[in-house]
Amino acid sequence: MLDTSSQFKVRSSTCVDLFSGAGGLTEGFRQAGFISAFAADFDEQAVETFRYNHPDTVCLHRDVRSLSGKEIFHAAGLTPGGIDVLCGGSPCQGFSLAGLRIADDPKNRLFLDFVRLTSELEPRLVLFENVEGIKSMQKGDVVRAIFREFDRIGYCCFERTLNAADYGVPQHRSRFILLAVPKGCAAISFPQATHGLPNQQLQLFSEARLMPYVTAWEALSDLTAIGPGEGAEELLHSGEYHNSYQRERRGNRCPGAIFNHRAINHSSRIQARYAQIPEGCDNRFLPIELRTKKRNVWKLDRQKPSRTVTCNHRTDILHPILPRGTTVREAARLQSFDDDYRFFGNLTRKAKWLTQDDQVGNAVPPLLAHALALQIKNVLSKEAVGVKYDSRNIDYV
């Protein structure tokens, strides 16, 4: 039964991150002032990365299918009603059997267990993120199934596709973002873009003037220039920066340090091929005698944001000047991680667990997460006065 007393509890801004990976989503929420109370991921190396960078967060190396809401409350030292935001981005591979058959594929259990934990934890708001392509899967049946599952447990959903570049990330990266709140709450709005093209028409209808997109070179130009095979897992930064983005990425965990700045030792033949790819182009622009069967090697354009950083960035996304693929640190800069955010794990796929490349490529850009967190925090603060709950239910009046 709902507590009908006149006493209201104003909750702290607390978040829980399932499928946390290396922690990009949590990092953005942390920078926005949220307390990260709990996280979980099935990958051992990603958990090591998360724990190093978020030492105050309880992070379990666990499959969410084996977790219960009671266990999360106990591990995080929380009680029912104490979670403001539950975040997660379950893998979408199993969604190929969507619609009425969403439970047929075992991989879908990851999403269904996320819904189960939402029901058990009763967060004030849910943030579910995934690839943009999820909207077109099975002609929209996947998203309809997701909405239906949240509706079944008493949450209504609002979705939007957001481009990370619109929020100061030097990379075009579109993500499907779903926000869910208990039924009866007001509709949830999404954060407005802060960056765009100089002549973008949106400025004519917006009170806030958009800042120019952050370019790849604005993100990378101050990093130590290293050739193929050079670099180290830990270097010292020169202390110089050329713009506000670089200054803001310095971080404060380990002042002066740059982690994970180590380049692949490409052969001379590969270096010669990379050197002839024009900026902003892929290897289809090479002379015929230098082309290979691989078609997805692309060189950064210094004047534009990067294309989407992938898990294969060290061979698929090339430095705009040097004849090599991007380092983990350069990819992390393009993802908007601070320089002192350290990634652990191997650099080759011979390992059982996720590589450093995987962890960076799979992450939610912290600046995109930060924009979402600030918007969510604003929504929750407006709702705080009217929240009543007991140990079993949460309601908004």
Q: Identify the CATH number of the domain in which residue 249 sits.
A: 3.90.120.10
> What pLDDT is attached to residue 93?
56
Would 388 be classed as within a structural domain?
yes
Would 178 be classed as within a structural domain?
yes
The 10 Å CB-count burial string (b at 16+, else e) for 244-261 is ebbeebbbeeeeeebbbb
Would 2 be classed as within a structural domain?
no
Residues 225 and 298 in one domain: yes
Would 8 be classed as within a structural domain?
no
What positions carry a catalytic annotation? 92
> What pLDDT is attached to residue 192?
96
Q: What's the distance, Cα to Cα, between the start and end of the chain in Å? A: 14
Q: How many CB atoms lie within 10 A of CB 74?
A: 12
> What pLDDT is attached to residue 288?
79
Would 210 be classed as within a structural domain?
no
Q: What is the DSSP letter of 135?
A: G
Q: How far apart are CA 343 and CA 384, in angstroms?
A: 37
Residues 378 and 243 in one domain: no
> What pLDDT is attached to residue 249?
96
Residues 303 and 382 in one domain: no
> What pLDDT is attached to residue 71?
97
- Overall domain count for the chain: 2
Residues 357 and 379 in one domain: no
Q: Could you list the residue range(s) of the whole structural domain that residue 220 is in? A: 216-362
Cβ atoms 8, 385 nearer than 8 A = yes
Bridge-based pairing of strands 298-299 and 257-262 is unpaired
Residues 20 and 35 in one domain: yes
CATH code of the domain in which 128 resides: 3.40.50.150
Length, in residues, of the chain: 397
Q: How far apart are CA 369 and CA 115, in angstroms?
A: 21
Handedness of CA 116, 119, 120, 124 (dihedral sign): positive
Ordered per-residue pLDDT tens for the chain, 397 residues: 333 333 334 456 899 999 999 999 999 999 999 999 999 999 999 999 999 999 999 999 999 999 999 999 999 999 998 999 999 988 765 554 333 344 455 555 788 899 999 999 999 999 999 988 888 877 888 889 899 999 999 999 999 999 999 999 999 999 999 999 999 888 889 999 999 997 665 555 555 689 999 999 999 999 999 999 999 999 998 888 999 999 999 988 888 889 999 999 999 999 999 999 999 998 888 887 777 777 789 999 999 999 999 999 999 999 999 999 999 999 999 999 999 999 999 887 766 788 999 999 999 999 999 999 999 999 888 764 333 333 333 332 2
Residues 225 and 190 in one domain: no
Would 156 be classed as within a structural domain?
yes
Cβ atoms 38, 72 nearer than 8 A = yes
Cβ atoms 359, 45 nearer than 8 A = yes
Would 161 be classed as within a structural domain?
yes
**216 Cβ contact list (under 8 Å, min separation 6):** 170, 171, 300, 301, 302, 304, 305, 306, 320, 334
**382 Cβ contact list (under 8 Å, min separation 6):** none
Would 350 be classed as within a structural domain?
yes
If DSSP codes are grouped into helix, strand and coil, which group holds residue 131?
Answer: strand
Identify the CA nearest to 278 among candidates 309, 318, 307, 222.
318
Pair of tokens at residue 240: 């110089």
> What pLDDT is attached to residue 104?
53
Element (H, E) at 125: strand 125-131
Residues 29 and 77 in one domain: yes
Residues paired with residue 178 on neighbouring β-strands, in sequence order: 128, 159
Q: How many CB atoms lie within 10 A of CB 103?
A: 13
Residues 109 and 19 in one domain: yes
pLDDT tens per residue, range 203-225? 555 556 899 999 999 999 999 99
CA triple 319-336-360, angle to 5 deg: 70
If DSSP codes are grouped into helix, strand and coil, which group holds residue 258?
Answer: strand
Q: How many CB atoms lie within 10 A of CB 48?
A: 19
Residue 371 to residues 226, 238, 364, Cα–Cα distance (Å): 33, 29, 12
Amino acid identity, position 113: D
> What pLDDT is attached to residue 365?
98
> What pLDDT is attached to residue 108?
58
Residues 40 and 127 in one domain: yes
Residue 34 to residues 23, 30, 69, 364, Cα–Cα distance (Å): 14, 5, 20, 16
Q: How far apart are CA 86 and CA 25, in angstroms?
A: 11
Residues 313 and 386 in one domain: no
pTM metric for this prediction:
0.89
Residues 325 and 382 in one domain: no
If DSSP codes are grouped into helix, strand and coil, which group holds residue 211?
Answer: strand
DSSP assignment of 141-157: HHHHHHHHHHHHTTEEE
Residues 183 and 66 in one domain: yes
